[in-house]
Amino acid sequence: MGDQKLQRAQRAWKLVDAQHGVVARRQLLALGFSPTSIKHRVATGRLHPVRPGVYAAGRPDLTDCGTWMAAVLSCGPHAVLSHHSAAALWGIGPSPRKIEVSVPLRTARVRPGIVVHRRANLRAAEVAARDGIPVTMPVCTLVDIALGLGREELEAAINAADRRELVDPERLRRALDELPRRPGVVNLRAALDRRTFVLTDSALERRFVPLAREAGLGRPLTGVPLNGFKVDFYWPDLGLVVETDGLRYHRTPAQQAIDRLRDQAHTAAGLTPLRFTHAQVHHDPGHVRRTLAATAGRLRRASERSALPRSGSGA
């Protein structure tokens, strides 16, 4: 019997450590603690009630993670931290005054100090564990907070998710097309399209090639391998390479390094690399056209000068 009590206590403390100092009554019962023994531990100060059906073990002081975990535990076994509280846990937004938790639609929970969201369409693939706390995935979290944020605040959250390498804007934009309809998707999609408008290869070519033609360039080669990279647009006669970039947020260091290597490889080979965003091609074609025309003119003049006979050559 003594060994069983010791093992039960060890399992309980292991669970408490994993849950940032808190444990649910239902978890203690599942471990074999009786209601009487739980009540005794509360009376003797070994357990401290912090939420309905949730206790802090040993000492009542909790970290932010402990406070979030206690809120999730108090809302039931299928509850997850969500919305602005999830954003705070992921490090992409400030912590709200009230903790926000999502529960299945059939769950009837009312908890003081907790905003409980009942939802029917939260899929298992949209839930993760961050520091042991059940929480909505970054994509779902950004969708959930999109309705309550202004444009600059939402862009800051997207930037933060990109910097922390949780999800980059391009993957985020693609993920929105796969989500079921829910509040926030439209707002988040609009914020992304303002900054990271991404065209398919065929649509980009349909928009970009006429701009190049209007700038006095012929039709480019597209999608060809060059200097170890696949290039978007290439004019061999001018030695001009144009790359398009869907990201105008802060790219990750790895992505920035690849872009630099790409441009450096083309420059080392004697080519002139230019880079436009997809948004510029779509929303600011005049700038693209003027830049292409000026660059092509400079390259042609340089080519003509190199073709002229040198003084004293006898030509």
* Assigned domain for 57 exists: no
pLDDT higher than threshold 80 for residue 308: no
For 238-297, the pLDDT digits (tens) are 999 998 876 544 456 677 788 889 999 999 999 999 999 877 888 899 999 999 999 999
Sign of dihedral through CA atoms 74, 76, 82, 86?
Answer: positive
Residue 151 pLDDT class (50, 70, 90 cuts): confident
Residue 111, in any domain of the structure: no
CA distance 33 to 220: 74
Does position 191 have pLDDT exceeding 90, yes or no? Answer: no
In a domain? residue 231:
yes
Q: Is 24 within the bounds of a domain?
A: no
**Mean pLDDT score of the chain:** 87
310 or 312, which is more confident: 310
Mean pLDDT of the 47-66 span: 93
What dihedral do alpha carbons 296, 302, 307, 311 form, nearest 10°? Answer: 160
- Residue-wise pLDDT for 219-233, tens only, equals 899 889 999 999 989
Q: Is 247 among the domain residues? A: yes
pLDDT, position 200? 56
- Is the model's pLDDT at 124 over the cut of 90? no
pLDDT at 196: 58
Q: Is 149's pLDDT higher than 90?
A: no
- Whole-number pLDDT of residue 315: 42
Stronger pLDDT, 87 or 249, i.e. the higher one: 87
Residue 16 predicted with pLDDT over 50: yes
Q: Which residues form the domain of 233?
A: 201-307
The number of distinct structural domains making up the chain is 1
Q: Within a domain: residue 258?
A: yes
- Res. 110: pLDDT tops 80: no
User: What CATH number has the domain bearing residue 244?
Assistant: 3.40.960.10
Residue 176 lies inside a defined structural domain of this protein: no
Mean of the pLDDT values across residues 45-49? 95
Angle, nearest 10°, between helix axes 185-195 and 151-163? 80
For residue 71, what pLDDT is reported?
96
- Dist CA 71 CA 109 (whole Å): 11
Amino acid letter for position 278: H
- 1-15, 114-128, 141-155, 187-201, range with the lowest pLDDT: 187-201
| pLDDT of the residue at 247 | 53
Residues 62-73, mean pLDDT to the nearest whole number? 96
**Which of 46-50, 121-125, 245-249, 276-280 is predicted least confidently?**
245-249
What is the rounded (10 degree) CA torsion for 282, 286, 288, 293? 150
Q: What is the pLDDT of residue 252?
A: 60
